[in-house]
Structures are given as structure tokens and as C-alpha cells.
A and B are shown apart, each in its own frame.
Chain A
Amino acid sequence: MLLETAILAGLLFGFGIYQVLQRSFVRILIGFVLLSNGANLVILAMSGDPKGKDSPILAEGTGPHVDPLPQALILTAIVIGFGLLSYMVVLLYRIFLDYRTTNAADLFEEPLKEAKPEEPH
């Protein structure tokens, strides 16, 4: 069980990081989603092998229950990840409106404009 989970997490991280390293903002966005899924999975793996354990709903089953804490953490993480993602999508849209590009390389091609010191009136 845990070996598959570990491989899956590695898969998601590997591809997520590859995407994040791209120049396209859409690919960076996708990479972010893959990374957050991978991170959730890593946390979930911390609750150990669920073999012979029940879900953390106490009304059901009498045996030992799985650790509820990682699940609570991930539940929060999923929701916050969604909030972040929606903000990033809108940010991407705004960047496109202002700069007419969805490419990080285009955005940083020109050197940053030097702010001129204000002249006293």
C-alpha cells in the first residue's frame, strides 16, 4: 500500500516540478495543481498502513481507527489549494490583459525599468 502511494507521490512531484519549470504560465499553474495533489498524498501516507483499520468515524466499526489528523490537515489543504489556484488563474488572466502574454519569458525579457528619483518641484 505505502509503496504505491510513495511512487504516486514521487510521480506527481516529478511531473509537477517539471511543469513549474516551464515558461508558460498555464503550465506553471498545472504544475502547481500536481504539486498540491502530491503534497496531500505525502501527508496522507503519514497516517501509516490502513490495513485492518477503520475510517475515523467512531460510530462505525469497533477496531482501531486510522489517524484522523492527516485527514483533517489535507481537508484544509485541499480547500486552501483551491483558493490559491483560483487566485492564480485570475492573476494569470490579469497578466494576460496587461501584458498580452501568458509566457514568463516574455514578461521578464526586458530589464526592469529603473525608477527615476523624483525631482523636487
Chain B
Amino acid sequence: MTAVLLAAILLPMLSVPLLVWAGARWGSRAGRVALVVPLTSLALIGWLLSGAEAMTERVVTIPWIPSLGIELSFIVDGLSLFFGLVVSAMGVLVTLYASSYLDDHYRDHGRFYAYLMLFMASMLGCVFSENLLLLFVFWEMTGISSFLLIGFLHDKQDSRDGARMALFTTGGAGLAMLAGVVLLGEVTGTYSLVALRDGAMTQSMAEHGASWDGILTVAFVLMMIGALAKSAQFPFHYWLPNAMAAPTPVSAYLHSATMVKLGVFFIARIFPIAAMLEAWTPLLVSIGFLTMLLGAIFALLSHDLKGVLAYSTVSQLGFLVGFYGMSNTDGASLDLLHVASHVFYKGCLFMVVGIVDHAAGSRDLRKLGGLSRRLPALTIITLIAAASMAGLPGTMGFISKEYMLKAKFDHWHSDAWLNWLPLTLVIIASLVKVLFSIRLVRSTFFGPLPSEIDEHFHKPSGWMLISPAILAGCCLTFGLWPDLISPALRTLSVEGLHLETSIHLKIWHGWTREFWTSLGIMGLGAFAWLLLGAGRLNRAGIPSWLRFDQAFNAFMNAIPAIAKKITSLTRADRPMDYLPIILGTIFVSVGSLIVVHGARLLELTGLRGDWRVSELLDPLRSFVLLLVAIAVLMVTTLRRWTTQLVALGTVGFLLTFYFVLFRAPDLAMTQILVEAATLILVLMLLSRFPRAAETGERESRPAATRRIMNIVVAVIAGLTVTAFTFVVATSKHAEPAGDFYLKQSVPAAKGTNAVNTILVDFRGFDTLMEVTVLLIATLGALGLLMRYRRTEAEAKAGPMGPPGMGVIHETDAERERWTDR
């Protein structure tokens, strides 16, 4: 079983590079090849389902980072199998659909299918994860592949904006979720979902008493922020409609059927763990049902077909979130029915919209119309799916709505506001849903056929109809014979999440409350449609203060503007201006510390009473010091680069004298060698500069005030370093770390030179890193030399020598330019 499960998740991931290759080779036909991947995953997951007699839970654990409690731990139970089936089956249908949708007008087919399969793999990984951290990793991977897919048509501005918005919103909220997961893990000591459910949670609550409830609630709320953002719940609802810039197969797959359900899935996953928290019901019910109503109203006020579907998805997800919130701690029931019903009709409708867009060249409800004459088969499919969305009898949507109302009536909650509020919101939202379902069908397929649509019309490929037809067929079949899914729901029920009831779905329950309510909703909806009419809705729009996406974009655009303002305020683009400030701050703070605590610091150095400087100074050492001072002064005052460098080399060589005094022969030797190499290298490169560069440089001297300021900064720095070095070096050390190396050098490293053994034995890896730094510097230098684009004059002068070395500067024009300065 382990192998089958891992294969189902990993095969789509492994197929990614193959699909890129296939796309480069076969273009739009790569979709047919890609179809193999989701089919395989579907078959493997189907095999997992059939393999077990009853749906007992099975956990597969492969150690990964045991010290952090992270394991590649997967769970196979009803919930993961259900979502796994949805993901892989929709994967098959969407890939089939996309292989016709993405025709030769599109580019980069390989990349598209690669992203799609990457997404599918992350999705499968997410739903089968048993470890919360593993789940988070896959969770973020779905976000990244979603970003790539939304931005697939990256030469369009709205694609990029939509992709950015989705990534920032879900990714940012994902960080909150990570914080929640880590907090939960720290409190309970485990990241395993099974362990948490089987007592780790209740145990830690019992151990630590009521005070920990607060921490657990914080962890729960943080995790919910991530989940709600993923499922586009208010106030994060704005990203989903903007994600519709993606190609339609992506919208059908990610943004209606699967990825946006992850939040709902996560809520179901932690239901057995967190439903006992007091915050559970109020949080989820208020946000869920509010989103349900808002989404439905926005859907009615949108004119873009995909916008309508996106907001109706937001609305339906809101219902699912609220539904879990309503369920009492014993468990929920029929949640999978509601999810499946939504997958069927919404996936179908998205595909229909893609076909309409393809055939008519527009998705605007105000411009479309009369397509039923041209696309009769599509009209029937749409009618079935829209009927399911509106909840008409005979479709799966009706069954779902019937049971959802029944649940509302049956589970009359003890809190007063939890009784009437959800029920009212659900009824109003269902009413609006009927309205926009009617509008969708009426404005697209009936009425007069506008002439420009007629002119643009071209018949879509029959292949595209297969996937939506299958989905519409499911809506109808399970709507008419709902008992067909009862055994599946019974098999897939999960311990701790689902109420153990013998489920037998029926289409007819008698004249019950929910049936009357349902009838009322349909009747009122139809009546409201007649009252409002298409024209009035066409003139409406979403009020601008509720357009969070515009606010988000304004915010995102403000960030670079603010950054630019701060940059120009601090002048970070001019090192000469800000370096004195930084250095001045450092040295004034350190220097003032030395001045203020001078007496105590002097005590530390061990110098007492009447000490004289002359006692501390030795003539020979002072002489070398004087020589260095002269050399340094020459470096500063001399004008020619060559002489400056020779003076600089003198400084370096004279320093070896001090190295020797400090009993450091290795240092002295290295210093001599490196100093020689430096001198040669710098002289070699500087000699390639034209003379004019050197003379020209001399002329641009800074203003007098700046020179004085520089001198002041430098003097303060010198004095501070002197005082600092003297105090630190003469103070008593507690126990030098070097003693260890001196003691261990011979016994442990078998070497008598302690400096050498530190470098190659004790700290061997540091030396390796040092070599790496040199290598990086070499590569960087090589890159700088090689990527030089020659000027026209240089190109005319013929081929160059070694990379970058043969550049001719002293053309006549060049010389003139330099002497002009």
C-alpha cells in the first residue's frame, strides 16, 4: 500500500520535467500525453479504495527529520481518499478539457501541463498528509503552483496582478497557519494528526489546566486564518475573482473544484482535534455564513461569467465553512455530499464558460445572448448544471440543499443567535443563488443573438464537451437516484469527524419543513427575477468600498513608492553621504563609552599608579611604528597610483615585523606572500587604465568642508580603535579558547603546529568554506571580465585577447573625452 500511495503522489511530480519536454516536442498535443498522469493517479487511488474491505484508517510513516518531529507521514482514510479521488478525477477531466481548450493559439503547452501536474501532486500530498508540518509544505506548494498557473499568460497585466494577489494573500495567511501549527506542536509535543486526535490534545489540556485553552485558541485562530484565506473567505475573498485571469481549465480545476476546497478540507481534518474549542463555532459560523451571503450578492452583481462563478464559489465555500462550524462536537454528516455536489456543477459550469468564451469571444453577460441556437448540446449541459446550482429538484444540488436545510432545522443550536442567523443567511443566499443561476442561463443562451457575437462565432471542438457532459451527467444521475452515493458516503465516513448514522439519501421525504422552504426559495427567486429583470441587473455593480482587491493593489503599488521615498531620504544610493553617518554613530557611541568609563577601563588593563608612556614603549618597535606611519601618510598624500600602491605594499610588509613579535611565523609568511600577490594583481590591472583616468581623478576633489569632516571622522575612528584595542588586549581573559587547541594539538590532531592543526583539523570545514569563498570570488571576477560588451570602435579594432583583457581604451575619441574633463 505504501508503494501505491507514494506512486500516486510522486508520479505527477516526476512527470513535470517530462511534460516540459513533451510540450517542446509536440506543442498543443502534449495534453493528450499529460492525460496519462492523472489517469494513473486516479487508478492508484481507486485501488487503495477498493483494496480495503471497510474504510479502516491506515498510516504510512517514513522518517524524514526526526529531530524536528517531521516525518513523511501519510494517512489513508475516508476524508483523504474522498479528496484524493476528487483531485485526481477532476485532474483527468480538466486535462482532457485543457488539451482541446489550449489550442495552437497558446504557447508553452509543456509548461502549462507541468504546472498542472505539479499542482495535482501537491494537492494529493496535502490531502494525504498525516503530519501537520508535511501538510503545510504541500499546502504552500499548491499556493506556488497556483501562482504559476494564474500567471501563466504572464504578458497580460491582470494575469500578473491576479497571480501576485493570490500568492500574497494565501501565502501571507499561510505564514499565520505555520505559526499556528508550530504553536500547537510546541504545546502538545506532536505534529501527528492521529496522535493529536487520540489524546495528545486532551491530555495536554488536562495537564496544564484552563490557562492553556488560551494558547490553543490562539493556535487554532492562526491556523484558521490560513485555511480561510485559502478558501477565499471574507475578508480574504477578493483574491479568488482576480485569480480568474488564469486560463479557464485552471479556474475549473484549482479555483472551484480543488485548491479552494483545501481550507474546507483542513477544517474537516482538524475537526476531531479542535471542534471542542469554544472559539470553533462562533468564528466559523460568523465568517462562513457572512461570506456565503456576500459571495452570493457579489455573484449577482458581477457581469463577467467567470466572476459570477468565482463569487458563487466563494459563497458555497462559505457555506461549507459555516457548516463545519455549526456541527456539534460529535461530528458532522453529509459534508462530503455538499462538497461533491459543488465540484460537479461548478467544475461543469466553468468548463461551459470556457467554451462560451472560446466560441463567442466574450464572457460579458451584458453582451452575450441567444447562444442556444448555435450550441444546443452545451445549452442542455448548462441547464442541468445551473439547475443543480439553483437547487432544482432532480439534480444533486437539490439533494444537497434539502439535507442542508434539514440539518439547520434538526440541529437547533443552544445559543440563540446561532439558531436564526445561519438559517436566515442560508435562505437569503439560496434565493440570490436562484436569481443568478437564472441570469446566467438566460443572458448567455436565450434572448436575441447580438450581431457581433454572431460574427465572431466559431464552433468549438466536440472534445471539449466531454468533460462538462460527464460532470452534468453526475449532477443529474445522483440527483435522480441519490441512494447511489449513500454506500460511498458510508464507506468514506471518518472516525471523529462524521456521525455514525446509516446514510440513505432519498429524493422525497414527504411534505417536510425543508421541502416547503425549498419550494418557497425557488418560487421567490423566480418571482424576483421577473421583478428585477435582466436590464436592471446589467446596470448594477459591486460597490467600490467592498472591492478589497482594488485596495490591495493600491497597497501593493504603494510599497515601491514608499521604499523609493525612504531611499531618497536616507540617500542610500550615495555611499559617500551615508558612510560618515554610520561610522560616526559607531565610533561616537563606542568612543563615548570609553571616555565615560575611562577610569574603570584603565583599572582593567592592570596599569596602576604612576605609569609613564615611555615605559610601555620600546625604541625598536616604536621605530617600526614610525615607518608604518610614514608609509601610511605617503599612501594618503601621494598622487600617482603606482607610488601609492608601493607605499601600501610597504605598510603590509612592515606589519610582518609585528607578526613576528607576536610569535606568529605562519602569519608573517602568509602576509609576505599575499602582500606580494596583491601588489602584482592591483598594479597589473591598474596599469590597464588610461593615464587620463588617473589624472582626471585627481581633479575632482571634494569640497573643503567635506574634507574636514572626513578627517574628523577618521581621527575619532583612529583614537577609538586605539583605546579599544589597548583596553581589550591588556584585560585579563577568563580562559582563552586557544588553550584547548594547544593541549589537544598533539594527542588529537597529531600535529605540533597548533595554528596548522586548527586550520586543517579542528576547524577543517571553515577552511573549506574559505577556499569556497576564494572560488566564488574567482568566478565572480571571471564573470565581470567576460560579460563586457565592446563599443563599436573596439569591435572594429578586431578580435580581443583573453576575455576582457584586450580592450583598447586609448582611441582618439577616448583620449579627447578624458582630457576634456
Which residues of A are in contact with B by a Cβ distance under 8 Å?
Answer: 1-15, 17-24, 26, 29-30, 33-34, 37-38, 40-42, 44-50, 53-59, 65-72, 74-76, 78-87, 89-94, 96-98, 100-106, 108, 112, 118, 120-121
Contact = CB atoms under 8 A, between A and B. Distances in A.
B726 to A, nearest CB: 4
Nearest to A118: B157
A2 B728 CA distance: 10
A10 B719 contact: yes
A97 B738 contact: no
Interface in B680-727: 681-682, 685-686, 688-689, 693, 696-697, 700, 702, 710-711, 713-715, 717-726
Question: Chain B at the A interface: mostly helix, strand, loop or mixed?
Answer: helix
Contacts of A106: 700
B766 A76 contact: yes
Given A68-B755, A76-B770, A120-B155, 10 more contacts: A6-B723, A11-B718, A22-B710, A34-B651, A47-B662, A50-B661, A57-B753, A58-B754, A76-B766, A80-B774
A11 B628 contact: yes
Contacts of A96: 689, 693
Interface stretch (B28-36, B454-462, B540-548, B780-788): B780-788
Contacts of A93: 685, 688-689, 784-785, 804
Interface in B574-625: 574-576, 579-580, 583, 613, 616-618, 621-622, 625
A33 B759 contact: no
Given A8-B628, A21-B579, A58 B729 contact: no
B618 A4 contact: yes
Nearest to B771: A79
A81 to B, nearest CB: 8
B797 interface: no
Taking each of B621, B682, B817, which has the highest tally of chain A beta carbons within 10 Å of its own beta carbon?
B682
Contact of B579 (A14, A20, A40): A20
B760 to A, nearest CB: 10
B754 A68 contact: yes
Given A17-B714, A58-B742, A41 B697 contact: no
B169 to A, nearest CB: 21
A111 to B, nearest CB: 8
Given A45-B725, A58-B754, A87-B777, A65 B742 contact: yes
Interface string B780-820: 11001100100000000000000010010000001001000
A40 B659 CA distance: 10
A33 B697 contact: no
B286 to A, nearest CB: 40
Contacts, number: 290
B163 to A, nearest CB: 14
A28 to B, nearest CB: 8
Given A11-B629, A50-B661, A105 B729 contact: no
Contacts of B726: 2-3, 6
Interface stretch (B178-186, B469-477, B487-495, B664-672): B664-672
5 contacts: A3-B613, A13-B718, A21-B576, A56-B754, A57-B754
Contact of B755 (A19, A41, A53, A75): A75
Contacts of B375: none
Contacts of A105: 576, 700, 702
A98 B681 CA distance: 21
Contacts of A67: 736, 738-739
A86 B781 CA distance: 8
Contacts of A46: 728-729
A96 B718 CA distance: 31
Closest 7 CB pairs of A and B: A14-B718, A10-B722, A67-B738, A18-B714, A68-B754, A6-B726, A69-B738
B706 to A, nearest CB: 8
A93 B641 CA distance: 14
B528 interface: no
A28 B616 CA distance: 34
B419 interface: no
Interface in B621-659: 621-622, 625, 628-629, 632-633, 635-636, 641, 644-645, 648, 651-652, 655, 658-659
